[in-house]
Structure 1
Amino acid sequence: VCGEARDGACVRHAEEVTGQGKSLKAIDRQTSGTCPEATSGASQTGQCKNGKCDVWIGGGDFCSQCSKNEDYLINGKCTADNTESACEGSASNGMCTSCKSGYFLHRGGCYQIGTEPGNLVCKDTAASSTQGTCDACRPGYFRNPVTVLDKTKQSCIACNDTTGADNNVGIASCTECTAPATSGSSSSSQKATCTACADGYFIGGDGSACTACSDSTNGVTDCTACVPREDNSAKAKCTACSGSKKPSLDGKSCYDCTIGNCASCNSGGACQKCTNSLYLKTETDGATSCVSKCPDGYFGHTATDDGLKTCQSCSGTNDNLDPTGAGVAGCAACTYDSAKVTCTKCETGKYLKTTSDSTSCVEASGCGSGFFPKADDKAGNRCVPCGEAGSGGITNCAECSLFPYKQNLSYSHRLLCAADWASTTVNEQSEQSQCC
């Protein structure tokens, strides 16, 4: 976020960006840029003119004009000694008007190539072939497109320097940009094209402006971070709000939200999207929460279009999901493979029937030919294939049925393979069957 706006809005942020191609806060990187400033109206050797400590580079403040007209402004500091004759000719009004080879002109001073703070503005490691200029500017600056760039011209202009040089200007709150295609003139200045804005701003439309995320016309009230909207790039889509507020899923509003780990809320305070890899779980009464794993009765679903992670019911219709994820009626636990729901346990009283391409929850009578119902209060009831010997079936049996029998004055059931029905008596059937 911009610390201060001087000589082009948010100059500090843009100049900090140039340090290593990323944002460098003052506390992260300290240059030697302390700027002693004279009191208003006073002039003293070694002191910057009042109000002119307005050049911010790498987290340090530097001078753009000395308080004493005869001082030389070298590497952002005022001195009576023209070090290495960096400032060519006589100092004028506390500023340099041109620089010797190995230095370049920037904001009224001569900065040395290859050392701080000059190397935070200019990429060059050796003197340019054109005396007193910089050939390549750091990110956060653009090279002055003036027709003739020489030692009397400012080589690099900060992307957010709205004053600029030679009628070529930056854009308020811009941190990265490209230079104007042609140089400006006294009758028509030329703007850089912004490619990245400071925190709390977004590039609206064609890159000609950085708009505040909370802008009253094109922003969102209470918004602190945003991106352009997909349907209208001139307007903000909010991604973060102030305080405890959270943006709506469409990014058009900020709402009060007290749900832990929630990233987006609606006007009623219900969560619409969770942070990171958490899943949004919605109860039957509408209450919402963010969970790391969906509980029994639900499966985790990730939407194709926006990556929204939700817990979906194993037994619900789950309409309008992409990828699809229709549940299984009567299912109490399931798995999901981004193509279909596979039930692993049914609700009490139902039996899980598994075929080669689907699962279903049925009554005991619905197990059908080729299966027999087996009750299991712990693992869940299921329809067992007749030939599944390890689960009480009969080896190589394709069709079977349960027959009641009486033993010790009580009734039970035995499993009989259909192939043996016609050739056996009831007593024989009892002997040839398996107790289930």
Structure 2
Amino acid sequence: MRVYITMLILLSALISFQTAGCTHSYQVNDCVEGRCEEINGHELYTECKNNGYIPINGYCQKYDSSRYSSCKNADGTGITTQRQCGMCTGSMHLYKGGCYSCGSIYPGSLICRECAEGVCTNCTRGFFENPAASQTADSCIRCDDTTGVAGFVGVAGCLRCYSPNSTHSNVARCHTCKLPTHMPNTMGDTCYKCQLSDCFRCKPRMHARFVALSSI
């Protein structure tokens, strides 16, 4: 039974965050191929196919300055033929080319809990706050995003993490890896596998050693 539960946890971890092609029919028509971000089963556009359409809360919308004024070019000018937002203002924040609401508004609630003047100040679990966040730089970075933003990056295979200690490193500090057979090292910048061949789940011991947990 515990093995079955562990496999479910593993599957959930693997599909929580991933870059994906657009799969829904309305998304295929609106989204540039391969420019979707899947978060907890919800597909978010990161670039729209048609000029003058921009990602707002994960969907491509025809730019209207009266409705979507939070989305601007990075220099603060209005959208004309652009297909992404370069800046977000007000109660929205920038994430991978789109503007997202904060708090309880879905799907922005998958990324950010609180915003202030175009910057997310409290990212949800699975993300960390970008120390270089601004209206023109993503506030929240996935814990497993090794491309990163403004030089700050996540950790391959990481599920939960803390923001980097920017005075010493630009890498997030992972505290939970996606795979139950992996654990972070003492610095939190790497997820590595338990040393024991028959281990399906492990927990840390002193000096970063690991112990296999029985399936009994």
Closer, same or farther: CA 138–162 of 1 in aligned 2, 3 Å: same
Closer, same or farther: CA 110–208 of 1 in aligned 2, 3 Å: same
Separation (CA, whole Å) in 2 of partners of 1:182 and 1:35: 42
Q: Confirm or deny: 8 A CA contact 2:128 2:143 kept in the other structure.
A: yes
Q: Report what 2:176 is aligned to.
A: 196
Q: Report what 1:227 is aligned to.
A: 203
Separation (CA, whole Å) in 1 of partners of 2:62 and 2:201: 46
Q: Confirm or deny: 8 A CA contact 1:13 1:198 kept in the other structure.
A: no
Query: Which protein is richer in helix relative to its size?
Result: 2
TM-score, length of structure 1 as denominator length: 0.40
Q: Confirm or deny: 8 A CA contact 2:54 2:82 kept in the other structure.
A: no
Q: Report what 1:13 is aligned to.
A: 16
* Aligned mate of 2:139, from 142, 155, 169: 155
Amino acid at match of 1:192: A
CA RMSD of aligned residues (A): 2.9
How much does 1:106 deviate?
0.7
How much does 1:176 deviate?
1.6
Q: Report what 2:157 is aligned to.
A: 173
Separation (CA, whole Å) in 2 of partners of 1:69 and 1:120: 27
Closer, same or farther: CA 183–111 of 1 in aligned 2, 3 Å: farther
Structure 1 segment 244-259 matched on structure 2, within 5 A: 247=214
Closer, same or farther: CA 192–109 of 1 in aligned 2, 3 Å: same
* Aligned mate of 2:50, from 52, 64, 68: 68
Amino acid at match of 2:106: E
- Per chain length, whose mean CA-contact separation is higher, i.e. which structure has more relative contact order (CA < 8 Å, sep 6+)? 2
Aligned residues, how many? 194
Say if 2:112 is the partner of 1:122.
yes
How much does 1:49 deviate?
1.1
How much does 1:199 deviate?
3.2
How much does 1:86 deviate?
3.1
TM-score, length of structure 2 as denominator length: 0.76
Say if 2:34 is the partner of 1:51.
yes
Separation (CA, whole Å) in 1 of partners of 2:113 and 2:197: 40
Closer, same or farther: CA 156–208 of 1 in aligned 2, 3 Å: same
Say if 2:158 is the partner of 1:182.
no
What secondary structure sits across from 2:109 in the alignment?
helix
Separation (CA, whole Å) in 2 of partners of 1:2 and 1:107: 25
Separation (CA, whole Å) in 1 of partners of 2:59 and 2:199: 39
Q: Report what 2:6 is aligned to.
A: none
Deviations 1:42-90, CA, capped at 9 Å, x for gaps: xx5xx2111112x222331212222234321111111224443231221
Higher alpha-carbon Rg: 1
Separation (CA, whole Å) in 2 of partners of 1:56 and 1:169: 18
Closer, same or farther: CA 212–95 of 1 in aligned 2, 3 Å: farther
Closer, same or farther: CA 3–176 of 1 in aligned 2, 3 Å: closer
* Aligned mate of 1:112, from 86, 101, 120: 101
Closer, same or farther: CA 222–76 of 1 in aligned 2, 3 Å: farther
Closer, same or farther: CA 139–3 of 1 in aligned 2, 3 Å: closer
Closer, same or farther: CA 110–221 of 1 in aligned 2, 3 Å: same
How much does 1:158 deviate?
1.1
Structure 2: stretches of 5+ with no match in the other structure: 1-9, 73-77
Q: Confirm or deny: 8 A CA contact 1:72 1:80 kept in the other structure.
A: yes
| Structure 1 stretches of 4+ moved >4 Å | 33-37
Separation (CA, whole Å) in 2 of partners of 1:195 and 1:202: 8
